[in-house]
Chains A and B, each alone.
Chain A
Amino acid sequence: MSLHAAPFPLKVVPVTKFAIRDHETVPEHILLTPEEADGVLKAFGITAPQLPKIHVADPAAKEIGAKVGDIIKVVRKSTTARQSIFYRLVID
């Protein structure tokens, strides 16, 4: 048997756009309402520019329709704390 022949028939899968949100390595991104965003800023006693940033063209940000100036809540799985919550300011 030739080394290059696959031992099973190869299936050609058409390249389609898939839902980024469903991917297991993409953490959950939640767009905050202006009120929620204010609440977050108040809770940490900071101004929006002091938050970590996310680019408006970031695939996950695009997916949830975030605009520049919005705040996104990122809920990540954490090995030490089950989940860890980050807030990110959308920039361009």
Chain B
Amino acid sequence: MTVPKRIGKIRFGLISPQEFRKMSVVKIITADTYDDDGFPIEMGLMDPRLGVIDPGLRCRSCGGRPGECPGHFGHIDLIAPVIHVGFAKLIRKVLRGICRDCSRLMLKDGEKKMYLGQIQELERLGQMTDDTVNKVFAEARKNKTCPYCGAPQQEIKFERPLSYIEEGHKLTASDIRDRFEKIPDEDISVMGMNPATARPEWIILTVLPVPPVTMRPSITLESGQRSEDDLTHKLVDIIRINQRFQENREAGAPQLIIEDLWELLQYHVTTFLDNTVSGVPPARHRSGRPLKTLSQRLKGKEGRFRGSLSGKRVNFSARTVISPDPNLSIGEVGVPMDIAMELSVPMIANVRNMEIVKTFVRRGPDRHPGVNYVTRPDQRRVKVTDKNCEEVAEQIDVGWKIDRQLSDGDIVLFNRQPSLHRMSIMSHRVKVMPYKTFRLNPAVCPPYNADFDGDEMNMHVPQTEEARAEAEILMRVQENILSPRFGGPIIGGIHDYVTGSFLLTHGSKPIDRRGVMELLKKFDISELPEPAGYAEGKPYWTGKQVFSLILPRGLNLSFKADFCYNCDVCKGTDCENDAYVVIEDGKLLQGTIDAEAVGAFKGKITDRIIKEYSPSVASEFLDRMTRLALRGIMHAGFSFGIDDEDIPKAAVDQIEETTRTAREKSQQLIEAYNAGELEPLPGRTLDETLEMRIMQTLGKARDTAGKIAGRHLGLDNSGVVMAVSGARGSMLNLTQMAACVGQQSVRGERIMRGYAGRTLPHFRKGDLGAEAHGFVESSYKDGLNPTEFFFHAIGGREGLVDTAIRTSQSGYLQRRLVNALQDLEVKYDGTVKETRGMIVQFQYGEDGVDASRRDYASGDNVKRIIKSVLQKRPEESA
């Protein structure tokens, strides 16, 4: 066991050539890797001292086996110095700031002192020194002659990626290194560097470290051929050129050839460090694929930091398409048999469960629920097959571990990306089912933001008791019905559930015995309440009575339904629209159940049940509600088509009249504007005033048209039922279908773009009229004329672009926010602390309240509590 170590501090700097040599275990001089017998060549790129990757061998440096030995660096002595690409910009700054003769930073002593003071102060405060350092270089560059030796300075031109040109000559890496070596230590401090840990000349490489083989393992292909890592390939190139360079120089080759080779060495070292430098063609594999070199290993989403350290891959998980199943409980998930037979839960054999364990093993891997693997007490894993299952079952003894296949009742985590809030991962109970999709109750779609147009979801199987306990206590769907965002239920009825509840409970339509029985088919209710009345001698019940059967006893609640018309004076219990819900002792006395009562994000009844009973009761209620609502919608019958938006001829004429007058009115406004008679609104120009007035007129016209259409669309209309109950859509959507689509806009203004002075060639230049700027007079049902259609496409496109931009921007924002907050924790004393114990908040959210546990303090609550106390009295005395 290694002793846990604590990092005291981290210091960043440059590594000096001496240090590179000191940490190197071997100098690499040959580009070859393995000899003909497959053994690594000494002083080659796979030298055994660099670490081991082949099983069975030991490291020649530390004696460790593969996995134990971390690997050791080697080095290559470069024949000529080369520039490190990562520092190209810094080299430019330093070169321009120092004298070309005496290498001193070209600032007067007083200035140096001042800047050094500033830098030291910033460092003491732990702040960034970048701005000051940049100022130092900018000031130093301004000197045309050196203040120390008086040497005149030349402009140094920087050419991407790596050329520094002075007086038309390219500075070689050696030249630059020579200049940097002469910079005195005091000047280096003024440049914001620490001369002890980062001397500028160390930026120019003379020694190249060779990474250990453990970080560039070669793989053996099936054919027995070895395939080397990209980094090894690159190192081979570097060594080859290095050798050729040396040979040529020793042979006294012409300057031109030497320069070419130097350039080539620079290219190889550059691409070894970073293969995406602009201006440098990326080094390619024989197949034409660009090599993945050092920088590419670290950078970006799939790089070491974001991909390997912050993000991990897991076993015991599954992913497939989701589809709905209202007969499942909201806390269940339907798992395809194929997945259930692949995933497993560990089970340890003991005296008590021995027979159960053996039965599992005896079934083998092909009969669900069987066993895929068993682990013996000595940690040897045995794969269970159809052939050996009987034999293995006999061997099982206390302490053996079996990997039992996933079966009904197991707890699993269920997740849909993007995991934006904690309800994006909840624990469900498994229900193994045929076919190939995950099944879930549509009522849990809102927290996952899932739909069934091809969405896929992930499932994870916890493998330890601790993980299962945590999943069960903290992550169950029941525990997450209330969102911590707004303290209301995020799980609830959507679409047809709301429509169904509405149709069932609106008014008091009689339902005969047969109908009631059909509605209650899925429930274990054995007694019906007193019939609401008798018709032709036969008893009948109301939908409200049926709905009451799924409400818990003792529930008292009253509220305005979603389809409440918001009358000026609320008549409360006397509401003639049946929009005021009253529940007493678990009986729905009046009002209609709609989105406000059971819907997701609203769900007053769900909310009340969780707070007064328990999340489990609420979950039970939601299960029953989803089943009853679907029976309700089937009982009533429900369909929707474009014909549902037909309105009488008279209404159509009326709407046409409205739009015509609106058009005329805006024409009048334009005439008034042209005549200069229009009065500007306060704070607006004349043009703006005209625009606003026209928008106003046309907006009003659409509303009026909508109202006219609305008069002919009552609660017998499916569209209206959906809009009014909060199931889907709005009255505006219906208006657009039936009456008039209305003004199309870009950035909140009428459409103004297009050709010079007009939007489309169909209009005269300068036409300010309604049609010319995107007023769509037609309804979706009638169809749009070509110009209207075009304007509609413009407006629609803006919406699409907006959503695309919003998601990408909010995603980045979210990432930054989460990175900043992920280590904060609410401690048991209510304080919020980060990992060092630094206090962030003395009381969580200033009031220490969990939003999902609070009941909004309103006068209503007091009344309800008094009522419930008064109700309990007689029971207690009895």
A-B interaction:
yes
The verdict on A34 contacting chain B, using a C-beta distance below 8 Å, is: no
Q: Is residue A52 contacting chain B, with contact meaning CB distance below 8 A?
A: yes
Which A47-75 residues have C-beta < 8 A from chain B? 49-52
Q: Is A81 within 8 A of B843, CB to CB? A: yes
Q: In the complex, which residues of chain A have a beta carbon less than 8 angstroms from the beta carbon of B846?
A: 78, 80-81, 84
**Could you say which residues of chain A place their CB within 8 Å of the CB of B317?**
none
Residue B394 at the chain A interface, CB threshold 8 Å: no
Complex Cα–Cα for A84 and B842 (A)? 9
Given the interface pairs A50-B836, A50-B837, the reply to whether A44 lies near B845 with Cβ below 8 Å is no
CB pair A51–B847 under 8 Å, yes or no, is no
Q: Is B845 a contact partner of A51 (Cβ separation < 8 A)? A: no
Chain B contact residue count (CB 8 A cutoff): 15
Contact A87 B842 (CB under 8 A): yes
Nearest chain A CB to B669 CB, angstrom units: 26
Determine the residue in chain B with the shortest Cβ distance to A40. Answer: B842
Interface membership of B250, Cβ < 8 A: no
B847 close to A44 (CB less than 8 A): no
Instruction: Choose among A46, A50, A80 the residue that contacts B847 (Cβ–Cβ < 8 A).
Output: A80
Q: Select B842's contact among A44, A45, A49, A80, beta carbons within 8 Å.
A: A44
How far is it, in angstroms, between the C-alpha of A81 and the C-alpha of B844 when the chains are bound?
11
Q: How far apart are the CA atoms of A87 and B848 in the complex, in Å?
A: 16
Whether A52 lies near B843 (C-beta < 8 A) is no
Given known A-B contacts A44-B829, A44-B831, A50 and B839 have beta carbons under 8 A apart: yes
Tell me if A85 is interfacial: C-beta within 8 Å of chain B: yes
Q: Of residues 821 to 841 in B, which have CB atoms within 8 Å of A's CB atoms? A: 829, 831, 833, 836-840
- Cα–Cα, bound, A86→B840 (Å): 10
| B 847-869 binary contact with A (CB < 8 Å = 1; else 0) | 11100000000000000000000
In this complex, the interface size class of chain A, counting residues with CB under 8 Å from chain B, is 10 to 19
Known contacts A44-B831, A80-B849; is-contact A51 B839 (Cβ 8 Å): yes
Contacting residues, chain B, for A50 (C-beta < 8 A): 833, 836-839
Give bound CA distance, A50 to B840, whole Å.
9
> CB-CB < 8 A to A84: which residues of B?
842-843, 846-847
CA distance A49 to B849 in the complex (A): 27
Complex CA gap A78/B841 in Å reads: 13
Assembled-state Cα–Cα distance A46/B832 (Å): 13
Residues of B within 8 A of A49 (CB): 838
Contact of A78 among B829, B840, B847 (CB under 8 A): B847
CB neighbours (8 Å) of B837 from chain A are 46, 50
Contact A52 B839 (CB under 8 A): yes
Which of B833, B836, B842, B845 has the largest number of chain A CB atoms within 10 A?
B842
The reply to whether A86 and B842 form a contact with Cβ atoms under 8 Å apart is: yes
B829 / chain A contacts, CB cutoff of 8 Å:
44-45
> Which residues of A sit under 8 angstroms from B843, Cβ to Cβ?
81, 84-85
With a CB–CB cut-off of 8 A, which chain B residues contact A51?
838-839
The answer to whether B847 and A81 touch across the interface, beta carbons within 8 angstroms, is yes
**Which A residues touch B847, using CB under 8 A?**
78, 80-81, 84
User: Are B849 and A44 in contact (CB-based, < 8 A)?
Assistant: no
Give the chain B neighbours of A45 by CB distance below 8 A. Answer: 829
How far apart sit A82 and B833, CA to CA, in the bound complex (Å)? Answer: 22
Find chain B residues with CB under 8 A from A87 CB: 842
How far apart sit A81 and B857, CA to CA, in the bound complex (Å)?
13
A35 to B107, CA, bound (A): 53
Minimum distance in angstroms from B840 CB to a CB of chain A: 8
Least CB distance, A43 to chain B, in whole angstroms: 9
Output the residue of A45, A49, A84 with the most chain B CB within 10 A. A84
Instruction: Give A contacts to B, CB under 8 Å.
Output: 44-46, 49-52, 78, 80-81, 84-87
A selection of 30 A-B contacts at a CB cut-off of 8 Å is: A44-B829, A44-B831, A44-B839, A44-B842, A45-B829, A46-B837, A46-B839, A49-B838, A50-B833, A50-B837, A50-B838, A50-B839, A51-B839, A52-B838, A52-B839, A52-B840, A78-B846, A78-B847, A80-B845, A80-B846, A80-B847, A81-B843, A81-B846, A81-B847, A84-B842, A84-B843, A84-B846, A84-B847, A85-B843, A87-B842
- Identify 17 new A-B residue pairs, CB closer than 8 A, beyond the known A45-B829, A80-B846: A44-B842, A46-B837, A46-B839, A49-B838, A50-B833, A50-B836, A50-B837, A50-B839, A51-B838, A78-B847, A80-B849, A81-B843, A84-B842, A84-B846, A85-B842, A86-B842, A87-B842
